[in-house]
Chains A and B, each alone.
Chain A
């Protein structure tokens, strides 16, 4: 008779992992503040950009959605901070050891984390984009974006598609940040990496001397690709169609999540 008793490891269901992560998420103030900032910043910049915009003629060629969604530029940085801190705070506080002890199936933990982040970010992004679109709808007709200048309506199917694109874009950026944070384990390096990936592509595309290379940079960069999903006029001349653009962002996010998952699974925490 063997004297050693084996304690069976606790079997956590994904639902329990989700519940645990959700409790962690909602009991600290930081994430809620960050998501409130996403909404406030995106809407405030939309109001400022719409107030500054002018369309003087039928040929002004300014996309009202681009003006309304100007706030996505700084807003995505806050979303990225939220995504990075979801994982980064676990490492910086040492909580990761406790989390992985309680939930040894690392991938279950990781995807529970990602799921718990997704829902609130999706909500905040929807609020932010709705606020920005509303600001544009109220302000832009007074700035020359009138039916006489070719802006018949600001609530067509195209506008709804652009708004949906913006919401999905922000959500994908949060998950991209979460994945990269898991891969590099350090908040500062992760946010530098995420913002570099986001902002350097359009800057590089603007300064690169070779036009073909510039167009490719606009196609593979997540920020320019995401902007193609938020456009409402001149869609045919963009480097990517709206859904292709969103697809490129989704590929970046999938790659980052895969990288994070692999790093988490095969590396010491």
Chain B
């Protein structure tokens, strides 16, 4: 009898089993067959939009921060609305006369002085150092062509500012620089506005003979007869009108027939602390005024609207559910010993880690995408007519995609931390703390504090900036605090910080998974 060599029965290693996507499919099967996890993810999709009902109101409720306890809703001061539907500050002293048709206004500005910002007795101003002569850096005086004298009407203006040189500004949000340096009797500034139909062009000059084009504003639908003249505005700092700016003008040249200046306080008597004044002497005209002509962003916004990002407040609720599920996606393998089977089936540990990260990241992204889309759709409906700032479709898309990415990366971070510590409770606690605590700490402290918020710049909570729906303006001084809807980092920069955390955690997880016994 002869012995035969029998080949051991071994299933062939097919190319499909080698493929990474086969592994992803296997991990997806593991995920979708755990009923509790699927329910948690579905709940995330529903809970985030449901929260929009709590965090929004269709009626204006002013001063959300100043709770009286009675629950009564105070009447809101009206916030003027400018061209394009943006809320604006339009309060200043306007020395104007009606002008009809095309023409030119030219002026020489010889000085811009100010009254120092009002500082509380015994205190030190928390604001930035005042500009020359006790002015705010954006205190301004110059010439303006404005549709009419009602707040929020279209305009284009050439101005000198205390620390930002000559500027051309129009329709509250647009700003373009001209000559640099500050104005004085020895270094006067010449300003000119030329109207041609719906187009207004601004020029500046240091000597009144050599003119430089600064900018061109298009004001669609500008009436034939508009108001042209001189203005001054002290500008605002963190919503406070503490500065009065005085501009002195000489050599006023009008191509239209001169009919004499009328001094009007745009915005009415209660818009600024003290009414502006117009003084005319032989050869010089001076205009002094508090107030500003600017977008009503940040603390200066006094209306009762809500920023669109409020409808995404449920993200925090969704984060907790996703973080728990994502951490369990790996810690449950350790707890049940399933990790031994997983690593036997897929001995290349890095690939297993990658496949699981892809699955949990995709789950987070899809859940976030569905939830944020629904929340914004519900929120836009609920906030109808009560939106603080108009939001473009592009911004809405960024908020939705950003929220989806924020949830996906948080899920990957929780999964990676879970792989590192191999125990669910510490993993979940670590990730929740690094996202929630920075937000909770910054929120109350940023009430009066300027800048700061470093914890929202270096922790994964930075990614919440993808939800910011209100813009900031370089020509408006404000602390742009979290209470007013601003995050310290730009949207995608904030998300990048969270991605960096997840990448470092994944790298450490990869290193430990390969080095450690399972």
Contact = CB atoms under 8 A, between A and B. Distances in A.
Interface string B451-494: 00000000000000000000000000000000000000000000
Interface stretch (B117-125, B144-152, B171-179, B218-226): B117-125
Contacts of A188: 324, 327-328, 331, 424-425, 427-428
B67 A211 contact: yes
Given A191-B424, A195-B429, A211 B71 contact: yes
A200 interface: yes
Contacts of A209: 54-57, 61, 64, 306, 310
Most chain A C-beta atoms within 10 Å of own C-beta, residue among B64, B67, B428: B428
Contact of B317 (A200, A202, A206, A215): A200
A85 B328 CA distance: 15
A259 B69 CA distance: 33
B440 A73 contact: yes
B67 A70 contact: no
Contact of B122 (A57, A88, A191, A214): A57
B433 A77 contact: yes
B432 A59 contact: no
A158 B425 CA distance: 35
A56 interface: yes
B54 A208 contact: yes
Contact of A195 (B67, B124, B310, B432): B432
Contact of B323 (A192, A204, A208): A192
Contacts of A211: 61, 64, 67-68, 71
Interface in B60-85: 61, 64, 67-71
A78 interface: yes
Given A58-B122, A192-B320, A199-B432, A206 B443 contact: yes
A70 B455 CA distance: 13
Given A187-B424, A195-B436, A81 B429 contact: yes
Interface in A192-227: 192, 195-196, 199-200, 202-204, 206-215
A144 to B, nearest CB: 10
Contacts of B443: 202, 206
A210 B317 CA distance: 19
A80 interface: yes
Contacts of A214: 64, 67
B425 A210 contact: no
Contact of B425 (A74, A88, A203): A88
A88 B320 CA distance: 18
A92 interface: yes
A152 B68 CA distance: 30
Given A74-B433, A210-B71, A57 B54 contact: no
Contacts, number: 114
Interface in A36-58: 56-58
B353 interface: no
B340 interface: no
B261 interface: no
B320 A195 contact: yes
Interface residues of B, number: 44
A207 B323 CA distance: 22
A78 B437 CA distance: 13
Given A57-B123, A192-B324, A200-B316, A215 B425 contact: no
Contacts of B441: 70, 73
B440 A191 contact: no
A56 B123 contact: yes
A171 B323 CA distance: 25
A182 B306 CA distance: 41
Contact of B436 (A187, A189, A199): A199
Given A188-B324, A200-B317, A57 B433 contact: no
Interface string B102-139: 00000000000000000010111010000000000000
A85 B425 contact: yes
Contact of B57 (A73, A74, A186, A210): A210
Most chain B C-beta atoms within 10 Å of own C-beta, residue among A88, A187, A204: A187
A190 B440 contact: no
Contacts of B56: 209
B406 to A, nearest CB: 15
A57 B120 contact: yes
B335 interface: yes
A126 interface: no
Given A203-B313, A210-B57, A215-B67, A56 B126 contact: yes
B71 A212 contact: yes
B418 to A, nearest CB: 9
Contacts of B437: 73-74, 77, 199
B500 interface: no
Contacts of B310: 207, 209
A209 B427 CA distance: 33
A191 B316 CA distance: 15
Given A203-B313, A203-B439, A204-B313, A195 B55 contact: no
Contacts of B57: 209-210
A196 B71 contact: no
A78 B68 CA distance: 35
B269 interface: no
A84 interface: yes
A203 B313 CA distance: 8
A88 B424 CA distance: 10
Interface string A162-196: 00000000000000000000000011111110011
B347 interface: no
Interface in A79-114: 80-81, 84-85, 88, 92
A85 B428 CA distance: 12
Contacts of B70: 212
A215 to B, nearest CB: 5
Contacts of B64: 209, 211, 214
A213 B424 CA distance: 34
B55 A208 contact: yes
B346 interface: no
B358 interface: no
B124 A56 contact: yes
Nearest first, the 3 closest Cβ-Cβ pairs linking A and B are A212-B71, A188-B424, A57-B123
18 contacts: A57-B122, A58-B122, A77-B429, A77-B433, A77-B437, A81-B426, A187-B423, A188-B324, A188-B427, A191-B425, A191-B432, A195-B320, A204-B54, A209-B310, A210-B61, A212-B69, A212-B71, A214-B67
Interface of A: 56-59, 70, 73-74, 77-78, 80-81, 84-85, 88, 92, 186-192, 195-196, 199-200, 202-204, 206-215
Interface of B: 54-57, 61, 64, 67-71, 120, 122-124, 126, 306, 310, 313, 316-317, 320-321, 323-324, 327-328, 331, 335, 423-429, 432-433, 436-437, 439-441, 443
Given A188-B424, A203-B436, 12 more contacts: A81-B429, A188-B427, A192-B320, A195-B428, A195-B429, A195-B432, A195-B436, A196-B317, A200-B316, A203-B313, A203-B316, A211-B68
